[in-house]
Structure 1
Amino acid sequence: MYDPVRLAALVAVAEAGSITRAAERLGYTPPALSQQLAKLEREAGTALLVRHHRGARLTGAGELLVARARRVLDELDRARHELARLTGLAGGTLRLGTFQTAGIQLLPPVLSTFRRTYPDVELSVAFHEPTAGITAVAAGEIDLALTHAYEPGEPPSLPATLSSEPLLTEELVLVTAPGHALAGGSTRLPLAELAGEPLISMAPDHPARREVEAVLARSGATPSVLVATPGYALVCALASAGLGVGVVPEMVARTAATPVGTRLLEAGALRRTISVVHRTGEAAPAADAFRALLRGAFGRARPV
């Protein structure tokens, strides 16, 4: 039996025309989406896609399966909607808090699925930096908040009334000006090779980054420009202009508005984990349903 998640992945590639664009739409990394598609091809026993330099196109078998998959997914959506009415999700409100990267890159496909499944639930979304999002959930101002924590570093403390569920772990990567010598290698960059490099810093005004930048400082990177207001878009823009190098989450580097060179750092050195925070011990059908969709979307796509 075909996995509906993999069928949805194939449909997304058919509509987007490339694995990279489909991955962005679904909130996956391209390698994670490719893995799902490879499993689907093994289940089908035949090639479903032909990769080429501009993207990917369906084979004859892929076109046949996409046509059937759309019908299956439509039926599942209808079933979810009917079940929602039975379980009390035919109305009400779901209030979400998110930091900017997650709000732009991760939430839209999940919100789209939630809206199709529970069209009568009113949705609201507000931007909150992680600590502010936790406070807002604890105060009852929002129902769920997407937060993040860095490794190395201490996770944000939670009141006893809240719980946190990890969704996605991504590496931090080096960003530089295009053509920079450090971005040219195909292997992972040892942190020791950052010695003497001017670093675009987000500490000390970004407490969650302090331990990360302490590691970079011990490796010999020298603070060059301080971005006092946390904003990865600005870090990437300054790196692109040659004012220094930066270390940012992989999804930020992949979607930077300015051209940057990138390089993976030594394995396991620096990471960011994205989690969803919710209140415990209360009936919250809409919040529970949304958390389940988050788990389904991102639990399969954790880059290591």
Structure 2
Amino acid sequence: MYDPTRLAALVAVAEAGSITRAAERLGYTTPALSQQLAKLEREAGTALLVRHHRGARLTGAGELLVARARRVLDELAQARHELARLTGLSGGILRVGTFQTAGIHLLPPVLSAFRRAHPDVELTVADHEPPAGVAAVAAGDVDLALTHSYQPADPVPLPSSVRAEPVLVEELVLVTAPGHALAGDSARLPLAELAGQPLISMAPHLPARRGVESALARAGATPSVRVPTPGYALVCALVSAGLGVAVVPEMVARTAATPVGMRRLEPGELRRTIAVVYRAEETAPAADAFRALLRGAFGRAGQT
């Protein structure tokens, strides 16, 4: 059975004429949308798109599937609207907490899908930098929140009323100024090669980053600039200006507003897990529907 999210991605490319423009329309990064399309082609067992320098066009198989997909998506939208009346999703408010990276790069397509499915539910989005989102959910200030944790790190216990569901796991990668010697190779860079490198140190006092910063210190990276709050846009700007190198989530590196070089690290054990937290004992149809959309959009943790 084809994943409706991937069918919607194919329809968007057919309408936009390119993967890049479709990604902008849906709120995805271009690599994330390309990944969804590649999975759909594997499910179909044939090529659905032909990429060219001006964008992408459908193959014969792609045209056939898009025609069917439009009908399927229309039927699903109608079904969601009818089910909403039966499950209490015809009104009310869904309060979502998020941190900046997820709010920019993960939430928009899911919020769009939720709005299409449940147009009568009012949406509010609040900024809660981890771990504040967990506390906001526990206190009832928001219905659910996107948060993150880093590996390696000591586990942080959740309040007894709160559960966490992993959404996405991504590697941490090295970012450098464009043209930096360390970024000029496609092979993974051993952490030991960071010895003596000036490091933009990311909030080493915060529990979420402490384990990562310790691993970098053991590798011999030398703090050059310390950024006391986890502002990745600022970190990438400092790196781009040649003030040092940094280790950031891959999503951050690929969507940096300033030009940076990127390289994967060896071993690939430095990771960030993005999860959605919610109140476990509370019946909340809107929150449950939103979590289901997150699962459909990003799959199980580790399938990045």
Q: Deviations over 1:67-103 (max 9, x none)?
A: 3312211111111111111111111110000000000
Classify 1:286/1:30 alpha carbon distance in 2 versus 1 (closer, same or farther; 3 Å).
closer
Determine if contact 1:32/1:303 at 8 Å carries over to the other structure: no
- Alignment partner, residue 102 of structure 2: 102
Partner SS, residue 38 of structure 2: helix
Counterpart of 1:209 in structure 2 is: 209
- The one-letter code matched in structure 1 to 2:35 is A
Distance of aligned partners of 1:17 and 1:40 in 2 relative to their CA distance in 1, 3 Å threshold: farther
- Shifted more, 83-92 versus 151-160: the winner is 151-160
Alpha-carbon distance change, 20 to 36 in structure 1, aligned in 2, over 3 angstroms: farther
Q: CA deviation at 1:129?
A: 0.9
The answer as to whether partners of 1:199 and 1:222 remain within 8 angstroms in 2 is: yes
1:207-246 aligned within 5 A: 207-246=207-246
How far, CA to CA, are the matches of 1:275 and 1:136 in structure 2? Answer: 15
Partner deviation per Cα, 1:48-70 (whole Å, 9 max, x = no partner): 11122454221233223213312
Counterparts of 1:55-74 in structure 2 under 5 Å? 55-74=55-74
1:29 and 2:32 matched: yes
- Aligned-pair CA distance for 1:29: 2.6
The one-letter code matched in structure 1 to 2:187 is: T
Task: Note the C-alpha offset of 1:233.
Answer: 0.4
TM-score normalised over the length of structure 2: 0.93
Equivalent in the alignment of 2:112: 112
Q: Select between 12-21 and 247-256 the one with higher mean Cα deviation.
A: 12-21
Stretches of structure 1 lacking an aligned partner (at least 5 in a row): none
| Contact residue 169 and residue 303 of structure 2 kept, 8 A | yes
Matching of residue 39 in structure 1 with residue 42 in structure 2:
yes
Establish whether residue 124 from structure 1 lines up as the match of residue 127 from structure 2. no
Given that residues 235 and 246 in structure 2 are in contact (C-alpha distance below 8 angstroms), is that contact kept between their aligned partners in structure 1?
A: yes
Q: 1:91 to 1:208 in 2, by over 3 A?
A: same
Matches within 5 A, 1:87-166: 87-166=87-166
In structure 2, what is the equivalent of residue 4 of structure 1? 4
8 Å contact 1:26–1:297 — kept in the other structure? no
Query: What amino acid is the match of 1:69?
Result: A
Please, which moves more after superposition, 138-147 or 259-268?
A: 259-268
C-alpha deviation, 1:157, in angstroms: 2.2
Q: Any conservation in 1 of the 2:195–2:221 contact (CA below 8 Å)? A: yes
Q: Deviations over 1:131-173 (max 9, x none)?
A: 1111111111110010000000124321101111111000111
Aligned length: 301
Kindly state the Cα deviation for residue 31 of structure 1 after the two structures are TM-superposed.
Answer: 5.9
Do structure 1's residue 200 and structure 2's residue 200 form an aligned pair? yes
Change (3 A) 1:291 1:57: same
Post-superposition Cα deviations, 1:188-239, rounded to whole Å, max 9, x if no partner, equal 1111111111000113343311110110111110000011222000110010
TM-score (norm 1): 0.93
Would the alpha carbon gap of residues 164 and 236 (structure 1) be closer, same or farther in structure 2, given more than 3 Å must change?
same
Residue identity in the other structure for 1:278: Y
Matched, 1:48 2:51: no
Question: Contact 1:9–1:36 at 8 Å: present in 2 too?
Answer: no
Q: Which moved more, 1:15-24 or 1:278-287?
A: 15-24
**Structure 1 residues 269 and 240: alpha-carbon distance in aligned structure 2, compared to 1, 3 A threshold:** same
8 Å contact kept, 2:166–2:300: no
User: Which position in structure 1 is the counterpart of 2:84?
Assistant: 84
Question: In structure 2, what is the Cα distance between the partners aligned to 1:140 and 1:248?
Answer: 31
Residue 267 and residue 12 in structure 1: after superposition, are their counterparts in 2 closer, same or farther (change >3 A)? farther
Residue 279 of structure 2 is aligned to residue 279 of structure 1: yes
Give the secondary structure class of the aligned counterpart of 2:101. helix
Q: 1:229 to 1:178 in 2, by over 3 A?
A: same
Mapped contact 2:95–2:143 kept (Cα < 8 A)? yes
> Which ranges in structure 2 are unaligned for 5 or more consecutive residues?
none
Instruction: Specify the SS of the correspondent of 1:172.
Output: strand
Distance 1:71 1:30, change over 3 A: closer
Please report how far the alpha carbon of residue 280 of structure 1 lies from its aligned counterpart in structure 2 after TM superposition. Answer: 1.3
Q: Distance in 1 between matches of 2:210 and 2:2?
A: 45
Relative distance call for 1:156 and 1:82 in structure 2 (3 A) is same
Alignment of 1:163-178 (within 5 A): 163-178=163-178
